[in-house]
């Protein structure tokens, strides 16, 4: 059950218990509210395409795309929203690490991560990204 449906149900139940009246229009408006909480917790499985290390600065650049083809639209939207911003990356089931992400404009569905060498995934590895918490 989506959070907006759950919120509507809770609101209707509390109103019914208190004897308050509610219009159908108000109930429909509550149902159409965007569920923003789920958008902030979205994570996307990705795969390393290329890995380039700058040993002098202990920094790694990761060119990546989605691991699963059906996630391509979700990754596209994520990259558009977070281009040049801070995100988090998780390798296997390890700790979430901070990273900076850029959308590669001339290569659809590709992103570029910049992160410390110690936190970077290996070539062809899979990892998960999400909005910075």
CA-to-CA distance for 90 and 115, rounded, in angstroms?
A: 12
Read off the pTM. Answer: 0.68
| Among 74, 127, 83, residue whose Cα is nearest residue 102 | 83
* CA atoms of 113 and 103, how far apart (whole Å): 9
Residues 17-29 as b/e (b if ≥16 CB within 10 A, e otherwise) read eeeeeeeeeeeee
Q: What is the pLDDT of residues 37-82, one digit of tens each?
A: 334 458 999 999 999 999 999 999 999 999 999 999 999 999 999 9
- The two three-digit tokens of residue 119, written as one number: 């936190």
CATH code of 43-131, in short, is: 2.40.10.190
């Amino acid at each position: 059950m989506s959070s907006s449906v759950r919120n509507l149900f809770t609101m209707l139940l509390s109103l019914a218990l208190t004897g308050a009246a509610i219009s159908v229009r108000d109930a429909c408006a509550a149902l159409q509210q965007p569920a923003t909480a789920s958008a902030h917790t979205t994570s996307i499985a990705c795969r390393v395409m290329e890995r380039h290390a700058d040993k002098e600065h202990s920094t790694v650049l990761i060119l990546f795309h989605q691991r699963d083809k059906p996630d391509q639209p979700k990754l596209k939207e994520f990259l558009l929203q977070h281009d040049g911003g801070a995100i988090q990356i998780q390798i296997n089931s390890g700790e979430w690490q901070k990273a900076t992400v850029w959308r590669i404009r001339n290569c659809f569905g590709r992103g570029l991560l910049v992160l410390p060498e110690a936190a970077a995934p290996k070539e062809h590895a899979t990892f998960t990204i999400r909005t910075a918490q």
